[in-house]
Amino acid sequence: MSEPTPELFMQRIVDLGLANQLDVEKARRDVAAGDDSLDSLSRAMQRHGLLTTLQTEKILRGDRIGYFYGPYKVLYLIGAGTFARVYRSEKLGDLKTKDAETTGKDVFAVKVLRKRFRDEAAQLEQFLREGAMGLKLRHPNIVSVYDVEPDTYHPYMAMEFVEGQTLRELMHLRATLPAKTALKIMHDIASGLAHAASQGISHRDMKLSNVLVSSQGVAKLVDFGLAALADRNNPDKIADCPNARAIDYAALERGTNVRKDDPRSDIYFAGVMLYQMLCGQPPMPDTRDRLKRLNVTRFQTIEPIHRIKEDIPAPAIHVVNRAMELDPQARYQSAAEMQADIKKSMARLEAGPMQRVLDDGKIILEYPDDDDDPASEGEGLVVLLVESKIELQNAIRQRLKNRGYRVLVIADPARALERFDPLDDPIADCVVFSAAELGRSALDAFNRFGADEHTADVASILLVDRRQTSLIQDAHTAPHRRMLPLPLKVRELRAGLAKLLAKTPRRQIR
């Protein structure tokens, strides 16, 4: 299509409602005398604020639509995805945003479904679902939706405009984020998820591109298009989300035997995002192969984050590991719980590490823990500690008692095995064998405990130093029989116990 003449260009500006005739003529007078080129004229219109680059390009193409969506005037393209485009837009009216204070106009992000999907019922339904979810949610860490137009010819939604970038774009620029920054962003994300959960809404599409980070560093969730709104009158009925983007959620939930809209799935994929923020790579390789994405082994073969990047602080690693527990019972049980734990981890990180001298004189750095704070996570559970070193006995016993566990202590591994009578119920729900001083005798007892018929199903843990390579090689482990490294971090022991005993019935202990 040939370019319009300068006169026709000016007339189109007026006809399209982008500016009035008087302002257009005033802007034209800004063009140098004798210069009647279209380029000079369009640049003058932009200098006077009558046109944007996007509007200019559309006029030159001969486009007659797409300048307005309802009362919203399109200014710039700020985002484009497979299904929709997002424009920075303005609206004159009573509702004022913070950004409007400097422009004198309301500034919004207007999301428009692409034309080719408007005739597809499933895509239109998903788009309108996103708008409906957004209208229900008002929270500092969720991008607000103010207006939704369900017209099938021109569907759009007007949202809060966030000056910033997506978390995905931020990661492209930074590669990795400092632990304090990553935890702050994840705290915001968990806060938004917790609010959505309080409304019966789960996100169902947690990924870096669905988090906006404002210029002030505030993270906000966006795109609830795959959200499942639970039917509170019928807990077995859940909203359908027929979209390939939900494959990762489906694989996780099928592999862990939980219902489709389990809110802990959002927590797992929030942990995936934190993993990538901290070490610069996703825990699972990206693939478009549907069968590979549905294979639960993707979640079972994830490399521990501390092996990817060794200098990540322990408080941040703790949050990643807890959020990404494959066993849903060992994972954070709600976004609110995750948010609270992140807050504690941020405080530990802010306090900084402390030096601890090991028996061999080696100095290590550890962060202050909250293990001395009373809690009831182990209430109704009994742990038998097999350890000969008095000071270690006392330290572990006290820390676990503070968490609600009943703790029995025996110094002799052989005697510990004798306490389990084949004719009686097990005296403990988990036995912790420490090889710190007991060495191979602890290993032999650990292996025999797993081999004897009357104790084979009882959970057990072997504490072993990484330098005790022969013991590690000879240990017989299983899903309910694990090894933990020495020097011992009580937080890791608690996490191991929580995972092993997640489904263990609680005892009535007097």
pLDDT in tens, 338-356: 999 999 999 988 887 766 5
pLDDT digits (tens, 9 = 90+) for 217-255: 999 999 887 775 544 444 444 434 445 557 888 889 888
Per-residue confidence band for 490, with pLDDT thresholds at 50, 70 and 90: confident
**Cβ–Cβ under 8 Å, residues 167 and 273:** yes
Per-residue confidence band for 403, with pLDDT thresholds at 50, 70 and 90: confident
Whole-number pLDDT of residue 367? 67
Whole-number pLDDT of residue 130? 86
Residue 377 or 431, more confident? 431
* Separation of alpha carbons 379 and 388, rounded Å: 25
pLDDT average, residue stretch 101-126 = 79
| β 382-386/406-410 pair status | parallel
Locate 167 and state its tokens: 């978390």
Phi, psi for residue 353 in degrees, rounded to 5: -80, 155
Instruction: With a cut of 50, say whether residue 96 has pLDDT above it.
Output: no
Whole-number pLDDT of residue 154? 86
Alpha-helix residue ranges (DSSP H) falling in 280-363: 290-294, 297-300, 305-308, 314-323, 335-351
Residue whose tokens read 């003529």? 25
**Cβ–Cβ under 8 Å, residues 196 and 142:** yes
Instruction: With a cut of 80, say whether residue 22 has pLDDT above it.
Output: yes
Q: Which DSSP letter does residue 288 get?
A: -
Q: Which helix (H) or strand (E) holds 390?
A: helix 390-402
* β-bridge partners, 365: 355
pLDDT average, residue stretch 305-318 = 89
Per-residue b/e over 22-43, b at no fewer than 16 CB within 10 Å?
A: ebbeebbeebeeeeeeeeebbb
Per-residue b/e over 390-400, b at no fewer than 16 CB within 10 Å?
A: eebbeebbebb
**Sign of the torsion formed by the C-alpha atoms of 464, 466, 468 and 470:** positive
pLDDT digits (tens, 9 = 90+) for 44-55: 999 999 999 999
* Separation of alpha carbons 347 and 180, rounded Å: 10
Question: What's the chain's average pLDDT?
Answer: 86
Q: What is the dihedral of CA 483, 486, 490, 495, to 10 degrees?
A: -30
* Separation of alpha carbons 221 and 242, rounded Å: 21
Of residues 362, 304, 356, the one with CA closest to residue 490: 356
Whole-number pLDDT of residue 378? 85
DSSP-based three-state secondary structure for 465: strand
Whole-number pLDDT of residue 363? 60
Round to the nearest angstrom and report the end-to-end CA distance of the chain. Answer: 87
| β 72-80/68-69 pair status | antiparallel
Whole-number pLDDT of residue 330? 86
Kindly report the length of the chain: 510
Residue whose tokens read 């994929």? 269
Whole-number pLDDT of residue 379? 87
Whole-number pLDDT of residue 105? 55
Whole-number pLDDT of residue 250? 86
SS (H, E, C) 180-209: HHHHHHHHHHHHHHHHHHHCCEECCCCCHH
Whole-number pLDDT of residue 30? 87
Residue 473 or 353, more confident? 473
Per-residue confidence band for 508, with pLDDT thresholds at 50, 70 and 90: confident
Instruction: With a cut of 80, say whether residue 187 has pLDDT above it.
Output: yes
Residue whose tokens read 């991008």? 143
Whole-number pLDDT of residue 396? 87
Per-residue confidence band for 151, with pLDDT thresholds at 50, 70 and 90: confident
Per-residue confidence band for 398, with pLDDT thresholds at 50, 70 and 90: confident
Q: Which amino acid is located at 202 in the chain?
A: S
Instruction: With a cut of 90, say whether residue 431 has pLDDT above it.
Output: yes
pTM of the model: 0.69
SS (H, E, C) 254-279: HHCCCCCCCCHHHHHHHHHHHHHHHH
Q: Which of 146-150, 184-188, 401-405, 437-441 has the highest mean pLDDT?
A: 184-188
Residue 63 or 92, more confident? 63
Whole-number pLDDT of residue 97? 46
Locate 370 and state its tokens: 């909250």
Phi, psi for residue 344 in degrees, rounded to 5: -65, -40
Residue 103 or 428, more confident? 428
DSSP for 392-443 reads: HHHHHHHHHHHTT-EEEEES-HHHHHHTS-TTS--S-SEEEEEHHHHTHHHH
Q: Which of 151-160, 373-382, 407-416 has the highest mean pLDDT?
A: 407-416
For residue 476, the Cα-to-chain-centroid distance in whole angstroms is 35
pLDDT average, residue stretch 63-70 = 92
**Cβ–Cβ under 8 Å, residues 505 and 379:** no
**Cβ–Cβ under 8 Å, residues 335 and 263:** yes
* Separation of alpha carbons 96 and 98, rounded Å: 7
98 known member of a binding site: no
68-69 β-sheet, strand order: 68-69, 72-80, 84-91, 106-113, 156-160, 145-149
Instruction: With a cut of 60, say whether residue 438 has pLDDT above it.
Output: yes
Per-residue confidence band for 357, with pLDDT thresholds at 50, 70 and 90: low
Per-residue confidence band for 129, with pLDDT thresholds at 50, 70 and 90: confident
To the nearest whole percent, how much of the chain has pLDDT over 70? 88
Residue 246 or 265, more confident? 265
Phi, psi for residue 290 in degrees, rounded to 5: -60, -45
Whole-number pLDDT of residue 104? 42
For residue 95, the Cα-to-chain-centroid distance in whole angstroms is 32
